[in-house]
Structure 1
């Protein structure tokens, strides 16, 4: 009998529904798990589904949350990546930036990005993500606005330094925020929708840059107009987001009392343990004791290299095609839009089949092939093939990042630990920007063949590590089932009893 056939309507009488929803997390933790030393298999409470309420709640949350989050992340990507467009308008010459100074300026962004991600994300967890995320957005919008006044290398360096600090916990905080509203099997699609805004931002930034660079101003350069417009829009939308984003399922006005009760049940059985728990740094850091988590962090670094190579250098890669500055920016649009489309498609399919690893591998392979082909061919002699390989680059870069983040979020039921693993994993992926910014060297311009080869190599390493994780998860799930004499998957165990993660014998990997 499949899960849809086993689904039970729980909204017929209040008493019955209350008995299902009023579970005690502390008692469940004491009775259902005693770490990895459990001798007997405890009885797992059957998970109930109400199809009507499921569809209604998800639809309401989607319309309330996703459009706002998507636009917020679009502005985040614009403010972070506009430096690449600005270079096509000769910001480096206007500010007297020479030689390795440009690479240093790009690299400095990732240092505070990595260092501030963890502490800022714990503050977001403490003060509610719906409050903190718009504040972060308001702050980096102000920094982008102030970057208009940059007058030399040092001033732009300082702006990028503070921008990295303010953007450090933005993405992990959004991932954590969504996990407090959606089930595990719904999460990849939702994350992909707002993350697609990043790919769209790369496309939109090309169009916006094209428009800004056509403005004739005696007082401002084109890149200054670009920063001015993007910073102002970011600040304005941050204020709007602070007002409209729901704080949690129990206080949002879009759900009625019955829906709020079932929404809480959804999360506690298929996403998280008790999210009202006090923030504990000591408990949160225990997540890194398991070797699989460390391998996930290695994957984040590996997939971060191609992702950041595209974010920071894609206009320069496209520039090898030999087009003008205006045409180069326009040529970045289609590959980035294609990357956004593929991202959403892969995430939706991944949610439907409830598998992450294989889709991450596929995405990384596409990007690997794209960089390898572009580096191996004579671009001028094979312009069509070269441009097609650019589509392959973007096809997998964003998708691999989204599905990896979703993968380890799905396997981390503890709220504290889930906030921390994203706060470390996402900055590590971005820290790979330190690699990408220092392999695209001026002496290798315009094609940057060594950088393209190194980027492809990191993709290959990522595939090897992902397959190792997958094989271990299959083995470990079978081992646990054999020890307990059952045949369970991750869907059969409610997450509110799994605060200890893999240390609980009832834990099952979602691979």
Structure 2
């Protein structure tokens, strides 16, 4: 029926002898399927040293390139805030609230085109589709430097939203084809930390670019030229560099390819490289937890986009000039990346997702509430600036671990891609809320925006906590029914293909 059954005789020999095999027996590796009565042997890999060595090879080959790609993705999406501090809106003669409209329009195609583009990515391989998307959004960023008015920039932001729509969902799916479930959060965190670094880096780039003197072009145009141009060049390199799959990775030996296949078959995908079938994929919406995950994505999106889009304006309230405002956004974003890595590594170590998602939401809620409670930031400037650090601590971590959480609980590749391609853009769609609550008339404090963002953060913490408690309760209920304690890691992924409908299913908390 699928790849896991191709070597059943090898499996029978293995299970009868009680041995799992070794890395020197690739044919046996391919034979490890989920035979009745086999739990622990199937889900434990054969040679732990070989497995760690394989993961290191994936880490070195994939993560730096994907992180750099996402860094450019975040730079090209979020550079409007920096450009605005250098009088872009005045140069292009914007009318009131047109800047907010410019931010908002990005999210419409971003959400609409994410599912179909993700399906194309599944069909033609993320390794080829991701660089094409990167080339596209780099080109539209480059063209933004030539915009003459609001209409031109408005159209370019639409196409930028289209080309960035499926980027993050496809990266998540791509990594699930190389890593086990318990290895995924810290890898995604390293990748996603690039967005925090990008926000910091954009401040540094803007700081440097805005030092240019005597040019006939406004400095904000150079910002688009530099960031868009480098993005296009790197996309060409990535197209030829990324392997389509572990089976086609030229840097792996045949034994390593067999081990990579086995790892994913038993602890990530029910059927490795499964053909996408839309009718099967939409079965994900039969599960009530799907809607809980999507509600948490909505709550996550408002603080996430609020910080990404308006950090320069929030810091500007502290009273710094244009150049220093961009420079002072660097430290909060860097510490946000560090906190993301700390929480993600702790999450993988404990094999728990929900407590760390709740903690992240609470960081952001606290940061916005502290900032909102300060009436005179100049008298309490240190507290106000510290609050901006807490805002960044809690926006990135929930995003990474929420995506990891529902990917950990979905063994069907098609359903995983579909939910990710809806959930991630849905969080980004909340940029429509963020971009329309930070209004010029509320400057410099933006009190309605701060309260709105805090409310979404508190709600997200409650929902994530309640969903985690439900999963814990359901696992206990299933253990009582079966008369034994089973952990999610003990069940071969193929036996969890039907999700909660499977008797042996256990939630990855």
Residues 168-208 of structure 1, C-alpha deviation per residue, up to 9 Å, x if partnerless?
A: 10001000000000000110010000100000000000010
Which of 162, 165, 180 is residue 162 of structure 2 equivalent to? Answer: 165
Match among 378, 387, 390 for residue 389 of structure 1: 387
Whole-Å Cα distance in 2 between the matches of residues 8 and 44 of structure 1? 13
The match for 1:199 is 196
TM-score (structure 2 length as normaliser): 0.94
User: What pairs with 1:399-438 in structure 2 (closer than 5 Å)?
Assistant: 399-438=397-436
1:72 counterpart = 2:69: yes
User: Mind listing any 5+ residue stretches in structure 1 that lack a counterpart?
Assistant: 1-6, 33-41
Which shows bigger deviation, 148-157 or 215-224? 215-224
| Cα pair 1:372 1:452 within 8 Å, conserved | yes
Contact 1:9 1:51 in 2 (8 A): no
Residues 283 and 417 in structure 1, CA contact (< 8 A), matched pair in contact too: yes
* Equivalent of residue 494 in structure 2, options 473, 492, 496: 496
2:41 maps to 1:46: yes
User: Corresponding residue for 2:21?
Assistant: 10
| 1:21 aligned residue | 30
The alpha-carbon distance between structure 1 residues 253 and 311, as it changes in their structure 2 partners (threshold 3 A), is: same
Equivalent residue for 1:456, pick from 440, 454, 457: 454
Q: In the TM superposition, what are the counterparts of 1:42-441 in structure 2 within 5 Å? A: 44=39, 46-47=41-42, 48-49=44-45, 50-378=47-375, 379-441=377-439
CA contact (8 A) 2:24 2:255 kept: no
- After superposition, the CA RMSD in angstroms is 1.5
Q: Distance in 1 between matches of 2:282 and 2:481?
A: 28
What does the per-residue CA deviation read over 1:381-403, in whole Å, with 9 as the maximum and x for residues that have no partner?
A: 20000000010000111111111
Give 1:29-44 correspondences, 5 Å limit.
44=39
* Shift in Å, 1:498: 2.1
Change (3 A) 1:13 1:187: closer
Q: What's the CA shift for 1:318?
A: 0.3
What TM-score comes out, normalization by structure 1 length? 0.93
Gaps in structure 2 of 5+ consecutive residues? 1-17
**Compared CA separation, residues 370 and 277, structure 1 to 2 (3 A):** same
1:471 is displaced (CA, Å) by: 1.3
* Contact kept in structure 2, 1:206 and 1:329, CA below 8 Å: yes
Q: How many residues align?
A: 489
Query: Could you report, residue by residue, the CA deviation over 1:111-137 in whole angstroms, capped at 9, with x for unpaired residues?
Result: 000101111101000000101000000
Of 487, 493, 509, the residue aligned with 2:485 is 487
Counterpart-to-counterpart distance in 1, 2:23 and 2:495: 27
